[in-house]
Every structure is written in C-alpha cells, then in structure tokens.
Amino acid sequence: MEQHTNRFPISHVIGFLLSLVLTFGAAWIALMTSLPANVIMWIIGGLAILQAAIQLLLFMHMREGEDKIVNSVNMIYAAFLVFVIVAGSIWVLTSGHSH
C-alpha cells in the first residue's frame, strides 16, 4: 500500500523556475546579442540539453524508483538513438548536395 504525503512539491517549483531562466536566457542570447549565428546555436543547444536534464531529474523523477540502473541504461540508449538519428540525418542531408 502506497503512502501519500501532502508535502509541497519544491522540486517541481525549482525545476519550473530553472526552466524559465534557461528559456528566457536562450531567448535573450538569440535576440539581444551580436554573437555569430553558429555561436548562438551552440549556446542554445547547450541550454536545451541542460534544460532536458533538469526536466528528467526534477519532473520525471529519474532519481526515484527501485530500478535506478534500468532508468539510467534506458536514458543512455535513448541518447544514443537521438545522436544516431540526428547525426545520420545531418550527414545524409549535407552529403547529398556534393554529388
């Protein structure tokens, strides 16, 4: 039988505030700086990865549960699949123009 407690979800509030800061930070960098476009894209991509990690840890409870190792392995596999799909798509789309 699960025990439910009526405590304030402070981790959700912290995660929400951090997500807002990262989102507005990315918007500010994109709109208010005169950095080169490729630098802006790298910064926004880094902030997006950081925000995804915050979402996984604070909202999706990756640190909780009995199968922490299974959760970690699943996340590593999902990250590998994302890398293969994105890198493969970029490779196919850019190499097609050279022929």
Model pTM? 0.66
**Is residue 75 within 8 Å of 62, Cβ to Cβ?**
yes
Indicate if the alpha-carbon torsion angle 28, 31, 48, 7 is positive or negative: positive
Q: Which residues contact 62 (CB under 8 A, 6 or more apart)?
A: 56, 71, 72, 75
**Is residue 62 within 8 Å of 56, Cβ to Cβ?**
yes
Q: Which residue has the tokens 């909202």?
A: 59
- pLDDT for 32-79, tens place per residue? 999 999 999 999 999 998 998 888 888 776 666 677 778 778 888 988
